[in-house]
Amino acid sequence: MSPLSLALTSLAARWNSALERELPAAEELRRELHREPRLSGSEHPTTARLVAALSDAVRVESVADAGGVGRIGPSDGPAIAIRAELDALPLAEATGAEFRSGNGAMHACGHDVHQAALVALVRAAEGLELPLGLVTLLQPREESYPSGALDMVEAGVLDRWAVAHVIGAHVHPGVRPGAVASGGGFINAAADEIDIRVHGRGGHAAYPHLASDTVAAIAQIALSLPEVTRRTVSPLRPALISIGTLSAGEGAANVLPGEGRVFATMRTTDPADRQPLFEAVRRMVEHVAAAFGVQADVLRIEGEPALINDVYLAADADDWLARLGVDGAEPMRSLGADDFSYFCAEVPSLMMFVGVETPDRDPQPSLHDPHFLPDDSAVGAVARALLAGYLAAAERVLGIEHHRSDFTEREEARA
């Protein structure tokens, strides 16, 4: 092991035991946060509670409306950021838990667990000498638009706080409880929306030769979209277009409508496929429309970019997880989306998925299910994943910056 690795190992052991001591309070905090969830854009009370819980350790500044950011450890030089999302979902909770929400919103995506884990990790770092700054990103609006992560990036948070890497961890019932899935490369897809409006001349259904048939046109366009995808993107790189809305007509059987709409989501995993696929869709739609004698407007509504984990951070985090006694798991790749990807697009970053279990439920409820309620152990499991992420990121920054630092010398002397 290198002197740097040994020094970080000594820090990891002390941080991990301090973390154990913080967990009972953090589990209590998680229940409190769970009881009082706030929807996207209205997270201010949640932020205020977290700022209070962190107040001994860090001063949090407001950013991106309901968001917050603060820094512990060395106040200059590069920092590692850790992100926790603040928002809940518009769901009526069905868990029956003693600490269930009664306000029509629910932490059904585990963000209450992420928040409590971040608080535990930061409080546990008090009294330790961190080699690099730790920046807390309390991020609003993960579940809706406009994206809170994008707002934080655009507010200059990463530059201003000298963030070299961002670390995130998300609970997931699809990973074995207690295990952590990292994995380099694409984890989530870029999610754009394609809004296609078709215009023609309406008329009597018995005289279609005197009108234009927008219904036939949108039907043909719908069938052409998977074909465009197949012919544009290599089958070795996941991509898809799914139509969520197809509409025309006002309910009559004997009226040919003049307008039709196809509204679809486009998911790509390689940034190089994103623009070419959209352009191919536009060409196909315009030509199909022309063939039916109608006009089509094709609009792309840009969503989050693909979430691409840094391969080195992922490999190093796996090592640290093993050293902390945490099992690894296969990477959780999907064509879902998470706005953590805006951080990944700015600096090499890492998102992990932490296996959790809802007690007494078979089958296990998925994320966003009104029965989803990971047990208390999820807080510690997420906090340890974040710790492994910080250590991996610190190892990369320090390893690149200097081979031997004051930090390694002090930690060697301590060990």
Closest approach, Cβ 40 to Zn ion, in A, equals: 11
Closest approach, Cβ 285 to Zn ion, in A, equals: 33
Which CB, 109 or 317, lies closer to Zn ion? Answer: 109
Residue 351 binds Zn ion (CB under 5 A): no
Distance CA 376, CA 85 (A): 18
Residue 157 binds Zn ion (CB under 5 A): no
Pairing, β 133-139 against β 79-85? parallel
Two structure tokens written together for 84 = 């926790």
- Applying CB under 5 A, the site for Zn ion has a residue count of 1
Residue 352 binds Zn ion (CB under 5 A): no
Which CB, 84 or 388, lies closer to Zn ion? Answer: 84
Near Zn ion in 200-239, by CB under 5 A: none
Contact stretch for Zn ion (CB under 5 A) within 47-55, 109-117, 318-326, 369-377 = 109-117
Q: Is 261 exposed, middle or buried (0-12, 13-18, 19+ CB in 10 A)?
A: middle
Which CB, 89 or 329, lies closer to Zn ion? Answer: 89
Q: Contacting Zn ion (CB under 5 A), which of 23, 26, 109, 313? A: 109
Residue 124 binds Zn ion (CB under 5 A): no
Which CB, 109 or 180, lies closer to Zn ion? Answer: 109
Q: Cβ atoms within 10 A of the Cβ of 381, count? A: 25
Provide the residue type at 190 as one letter. Answer: A
Q: Cβ atoms within 10 A of the Cβ of 97, count? A: 14
Contact stretch for Zn ion (CB under 5 A) within 102-110, 328-336, 388-396, 403-411 = 102-110
Q: Which residues contact 108 (CB under 8 A, 6 or more apart)?
A: 88, 89, 91, 93, 367, 368, 369, 370, 372
Which CB, 84 or 387, lies closer to Zn ion? Answer: 84
Closest approach, Cβ 85 to Zn ion, in A, equals: 6
Which CB, 294 or 307, lies closer to Zn ion? Answer: 307
Contact stretch for Zn ion (CB under 5 A) within 3-11, 103-111, 280-288, 354-362 = 103-111
Q: Which residues bind Zn ion (CB under 5 A)?
A: 109
